[in-house]
Amino acid sequence: MRAVILRVCHSCDPADLGAVKLNKVLYFLDMISYAHHRQAVTGATYRKRPNGPTSDQLLFMLRDMQEIGEIQVDDVDYHGFIKKNYVALVSEPVGVLTNEETTLLDDVIEFVCRRNTAKSISDYSHKLPWELAHMGDVIEYHTAMMLFPNEPSPKAFELAKEGAEELEAARSTGNAVAVTSLADFRSRLLAAAR
């Protein structure tokens, strides 16, 4: 979690990062990682709160990081509201996050911090996993797949139809059917769903 927080702070302009967004970066990073690999990056516990999921461990980690001089956290005025301002005082530790985790984290930072406001990302986080939990209860990792659309896109149908036509054409010529891996097929469907 420490490495993730430092990377987020180094990647974001302080104006683009507050408590709501930092919680959402952690949440989406862990849930997406769990959905794809059955393993979260930080392993934090997330609870249903009015502004979306929050991490049980974040405040303790931030306090510890402040005490040892790794991060500065200030309350600042932001359009008449009090907002947390995070500034990393040390470099991100090297080798803690894998290349895949770093790539996913950078994508999540882009989506949460640069393409959304605190309000819009808070609203966006109110997806099915959040809705299923009672206020204050843990949002279980096994609900991560519920974050993804469960209706195939028209492009996914087109790909499935093309695949079926290719299969039928190969069968009718009597040639061996080229088998694509299930992982490749799933990747093509996920790309089409975006």
Mean pLDDT computed over 141-154:
81
Instruction: Please check whether residues 133 and 159 belong to one and the same domain.
Output: no
Same domain, yes or no: 143 and 78: yes
Structure tokens at 91: 């470099």
Given a cut of 70, whether residue 150 has pLDDT beyond it is no
Q: Please tell me whether the overall predicted TM-score, pTM, comes out greater than 0.75 for this model.
A: yes
In this structure, the answer to whether residues 132 and 98 fall within a common structural domain is yes
pLDDT band at 83 (very low <50, low <70, confident <90, very high): very high
CA dihedral over 28, 33, 38, 39, signed as positive or negative: negative
SS3 assignment, position 21: helix
Higher pLDDT among residues 30 and 169, named by residue: 30
**Distance in angstroms (rounded) separating the CA atoms of residues 47 and 110:** 23
Same domain, 97 and 114: yes
Q: What is the pLDDT of residues 87-144, one digit of tens each?
A: 999 999 999 999 999 999 999 999 999 999 999 999 888 888 999 999 999 999 999 9
**Cα separation, 26 vs 71, whole angstroms:** 17
Do residues 48 and 134 both lie within one domain? yes
Query: Domain range holding 143?
Result: 2-147
Are the C-beta atoms of 139 and 48 separated by less than 8 Å? yes
Average pLDDT over residues 17-42: 96
DSSP lists the bridge partners of residue 138 as 47
Query: CB–CB of 109/11 below 8 Å?
Result: yes
Looking at the structure, do residues 59 and 131 belong to the same domain, yes or no?
A: yes
The structural domain count of the chain equals 2
How far apart CA 75 and CA 83 sit, in angstroms, is: 6
Q: Give tens-digit pLDDT for 35-80.
A: 999 999 999 999 999 989 999 999 999 999 999 999 999 999 988 8
- For the chain, give the longest Cα–Cα distance: 72
